Structure 1
Amino acid sequence: MNALLALLIVFVLQGVGFAQSEPYRPQVHFSPREHWTNDPNGLVYFEGEYHLFYQYNPQGDVWGHMSWGHAVSKDLLHWQELPVALPEHGGEMIFTGSVVVDERNSSGLCAGGTPCMVAVYTGHHIIGGDSKRYTQDQNLAVSQDRGRTWSFYKGNPVLDLHMKEFRDPSVTWNEPRKAWLMAVALPDDHVVAMYSSPDLKKWEKISSFGPAGDVAGQWECPDLLKVPVEGSAESVWALKVGLNPGGLQGGSGEQYFIGTFDGTSFKRLPSQQENGWTDWGKDSYCAISYNHLPAGEKPVLLGWMSNWEYAAEVPTKPWRGQMTLPRRLSARLVEGKYVLVQQPVVEALHGAELKDASAAVATPVEYRVSLQPDKAGSAGVRVRYDATHWVDVGFDVKRGVMFVDRSHSSVPVAKGFAVRTEAKMLRSLPLDLDVIVDASSVEVFAQQGAIAMTNLVYPPSGQVALEPLGAEVKMRARGWTLRK
């Protein structure tokens, strides 16, 4: 009995020590056990598993030696980290790309003709050891065993324009043409080029989109997806494009365009000449959607939760980088225009409902809030960590903006971190908030999910409580602890 008790004490102390050494480790967001991560890659559903590949440095906690890390999940929430899928090799770093399920063995790469997984990725080749001299091209790798092991295609590259900046292929099945479709970025030209292929090997350019919208930085991580319109049997097409730098809030960010796609070209709807933003915060970038989802399932978007302004300076160890929560997408016609609506995949994690949202609880936690503004036109809540650290979330109705202010949230991080981020309000929608607080993040979905705003935080306390932002603000709030 004494020996058993001693063993239990050692186990508990080890667990406490691990938690204390990683105070910012997210509990309901994916992060790798160690080292650096950035863009999600190759999101695909296959044989009962959601796959998450991601940009990964197996050798350290800063960018470099880019390879594809790999994790799988049955529910998009609980992830099993697997060995590196696509390692840097032969002077080629493995940049962002897609994974498709080749059900028809159109590529001829699936053993025995059974469906296999094919990765289409950007190869980054440094010339003469000078990191400023490089080329980028598109390549294939194949897995016959549900993504556990991979082999590089001997005929690589499959698409090479002999350019320095040419990356991030988003590949899907193009039903109108009965062929594969690739949307790939020409970053310096602010163009997304569309290519078609019968077999994933031979690619023909069929159209291009851009420049359009914001062009202050390079275009990256394009994603063309069909999105169902709420309350109807119709759909619209959304083309999402990363922008770095030049994002709305500084650093990296993502815009989207709403339009039509006829199997050859994407065109904006006449009523949608203004671009939208998939996330109005500082810390959601290169979000991409899942391929090969079960029939009837809404599109699912997942992004990297950081910003290139300070990603290498965030105070986490032994890892840097994490992912947003997965978000199910739909489109809604609001005030004469379509907006993307995002609903976080989180409800399955609900634990006990909080009896009092103003009582301090340990993160992670979710709050759902309805607000009525005060006489000055303000309505919001304060997510309080302690007497000197908090995040304010709410609406300035007179100015017509929704905001998240993290300027008092964190230990010192980097220049440009302590900021207030803002989004345009939709005046026809209610003032509601869905606030998800993890160890180092606050994700907000406002106005029924029509606004998403993601921000990292690094508070000295892991306890939070919710209170109205102002004595006259009226709020109705429900809260739940979230189980890992």
Structure 2
Amino acid sequence: SLPACASCSAFIFPFVVQTIIVSGPLSRGQINGGTNWRRWTSKDLVTWQDQGIAIPRNTTRFGDVWSGSTVIDTDNTAGFGAGSLVTLVTMPAPGSGQSCALWYSRDEGASFTFHDIVLPNPGQRDFRDPTVFWHAPTRRWVMTLSEAGKVGIYTSPNLKRWTFASAFVSDLVGLIMECSHLFKLHLYDTDGRTSGDKWILLLGGNGTKRGFTVGTYYWVGDFDGITFAPDYPEGQWLDGGADFYAAVVWPDPAAADPLASAYAIAWMSNWDYVNKIPVTHNYRGQLSIVRQLRLQLAGDMPRLFSMPLSAQNAIFDQSVFGQDQTIADSSAYNWPTGARAIACRIDLTLTRIGETWPEKVSLSVRKGERHSTQVILSMRENMVTLKRDARGPDAPDVGAWRRDRNVACDFSTGIGTISVFVDSGSIELFLNNGAATMSALISAPLKATGLQLSARNGSVGVSKVTVRPVPETAILSN
């Protein structure tokens, strides 16, 4: 059960229901002017079960329950019982503005009881998205909070009384940095050895003024229980696509080494067109698959690498294997029978032939008569582009949707690995074992299942091709 094993946030967006690959964790459901917190559980973080409403809408005079996070109070610091779940959430609190409220559960998150507003709004317009964790060295709870131009850091001995500790100030990614997470991971060298521990401040930011879009941004640095100090003033984008925002991060408390990696899931949409996406079967948009984050040196720079969970393969009933081939201008890849599908996972390796990569290597998925989504690898320039301008029906007619997205990825070793998850409404791309990722919504008719892999101005070796399709009957039944 996700709420019972980690800190997890509620999204402040329209409620997300299960897609063919993923479904939502503890999420907010938009219903007729109010919201419910629904509880979803999973044993493998791949398949999810809806356990119903945990916090009903508009049940107190402080209004709705918005974004927030849930922790296990193992030592009963709040007095609701050892092992109780304590949730800190944003509530609009008419008359005083966005404030942090406390709810608690004694039945593993099946239902919650309202306690009180524990951190009132001090007079700010933006005062939301509390994320809480236990800081063992100081034996205090720590909260990060979205405020205008900064992330506020607060501490508490008991989850009820909160004291301002410090503020992380930045104007790099917009005025409001939403849904922040502060967490610690081991830092690994390129040879896999641990070189120490670092703290990561990760949040939803707006990169429009810097030629990007909204996305998930992070800094790596140190935290002493009061102040977060980044190693570099500029941070990094976690994902190069247009639709990976407000990521939720949590550790695996059952892991032999909880600092080896963390889990993350994100809202797959974009503020520039979220309300232009049509509502289908009572939902709009979706969440990403859960990915595993690992902090590793890339050159001299610590970077978060993202990889899909190994358990993700359990949802696929079959695997189709392709032959090793060399592709060039006049010879595209010959996909094996059974590779075409509405939803599938594709894995392959590209190998440079000679001293130079082709000018372009292009992978097209969900290809139809006038529709396709393209992954274009400019491997000489160490750059990857995601194109969805040849969009399908009902795609938002806005520049933010049509605009190409780019991410840097180092192919200088002569090897490139690609893992792609594609379904009826999204694509998630993992490059070079998670060194770079791109996530985006797509639009294509269900009959558009074409695949094409080609090269321009050069040749490249293609090997280790595996396609794991989802049966069409399973998709249509959902």
TM-score, length basis structure 1 = 0.81
Displacement, 1:428? 4.9
Aligned twin of 1:77: 46
Output aligned runs, 1:131-142, within 5 Å. Answer: 135-142=97-104
Aligned 8 A contact 2:70 2:85 in 1: yes
Seen in structure 2, the aligned counterparts of structure 1 residues 248 and 370 have a Cα distance that, compared at 3 Å, is farther
Per-residue CA deviation, residues 215-252 of structure 1 (Å, 9 max, x unaligned), is 33421111111123332333321111212473866552
- What CA deviation, in whole Å up to 9, does each residue of 1:267-309 have, x standing for no partner? 112xx44311111111111001125632335310111111111
Q: Which residue of 1 aligns with 2:204?
A: 242
Q: Which of 311, 317, 325 is the equivalent residue of 2:289? A: 325
Say which of 81, 88, 91 aligns to 2:57. 88
1:469 Cα deviation from its structure 2 partner:
2.9
State the 1:208 CA deviation: 1.7
Written as runs of structure 1 = structure 2, the 5 A alignment for 1:317-466 is 317=280, 318-345=282-309, 346-356=312-322, 357-359=335-337, 360-372=339-351, 376-414=358-396, 415-416=398-399, 417-428=401-412, 430-462=415-447, 464-466=449-451
After TM superposition, the structure 1 stretch with the greater mean CA deviation from structure 2, 64-73 or 288-297, is 288-297
Q: Distance in 2 between matches of 1:216 and 1:77?
A: 33
Deviation at residue 482 of structure 1 after TM alignment? 4.5
**Residues 218, 243 of structure 1: 8 Å contact kept:** yes
Question: Equivalences for 1:204-353 in 2 at 5 Å?
Answer: 204-211=163-170, 214-230=172-188, 231-233=192-194, 234-244=196-206, 246=208, 251-269=213-231, 272-290=232-250, 293-295=253-255, 296-297=257-258, 298-317=261-280, 318-345=282-309, 346-353=312-319
Aligned to 1:475: 462
When residues 207 and 347 of structure 1 are mapped into structure 2, their CA distance, relative to the original with a 3 A threshold, is same
> Aligned AA for 1:475?
V
Q: Which residue of 2 aligns with 1:29?
A: 22
- Report what 1:36 is aligned to: none
Percent identity over paired residues: 25
CA distance in 1, matches of 2:177, 2:416: 33
In 2, the alpha carbon distance for the partners of 1:66 and 1:247 equals: 32
Residues 242 and 263 from structure 1, CA distance in 2 versus in 1: closer, same or farther, beyond 3 angstroms?
same
Distance 2:107 2:411 in 1: 50
Decide whether the 8 Å contact of 2:378 with 2:384 is kept in 1. Answer: yes
The SS at the match of 1:85 is strand
Following superposition, the deviation at residue 315 of structure 1 comes to 2.7
Q: Equivalent residue for 1:8? A: none
Deviations, residues 108-167 of structure 1 (Å, cap 9, x unaligned): 022xxx31101011112345xxxxxx71111100010011111000x3233432322111
CA distance in 1, matches of 2:41, 2:211: 32
Root-mean-square deviation (CA, aligned residues, Å) is 2.4
- Alignment check: 8 A CA contact 2:340 2:451 kept: no
User: Which stretches in structure 1 are left out of the alignment for 5+ residues?
Assistant: 1-23, 32-51, 128-133
Question: Counterpart amino acid of 2:367?
Answer: Y
**In 2 relative to 1, CA 28–86 (structure 1 residues): closer, same or farther, beyond 3 Å?**
same
Give CA deviations for 1:367-410 in whole Å, capped at 9, x if unaligned.
Answer: 11222467653223221432322111132134432111111142
Amino acid at match of 1:240: L
C-alpha contact (below 8 Å) 2:62/2:91 kept by paired residues: no
Give, in whole Å, the separation in 1 of the partners of 2:181 and 2:107: 26
Alignment size in residue pairs:
422
Aligned to 1:170: 131
Q: Distance in 2 between matches of 1:200 and 1:266?
A: 20
1:422 partner amino acid:
N
- Taking structure 2 as the reference length, the TM-score comes to 0.82
Matches within 5 A, 1:9-88: 26-30=19-23, 52-59=25-32, 64-88=33-57
| 1:73-107 per-position Cα deviation (integer Å, ceiling 9, x unaligned) | 11111111122222332351212111000000000
Equivalent residue for 2:7? Answer: none
Q: Tell me what 1:199 maps to.
A: 158
Q: Does 1:152 align with 2:111?
A: no
* Aligned partners of 2:90 and 2:98 also within 8 Å: yes
**How far apart, in 1, do the equivalents of 2:158 and 2:252 lie?**
17
Q: Is the 8 A contact 1:240 1:257 kept in 2?
A: yes
Gap change, CA 1:428 and 1:225, over 3 Å in 2: farther
Structure 1 residue matching 2:205: 3-state secondary structure: strand
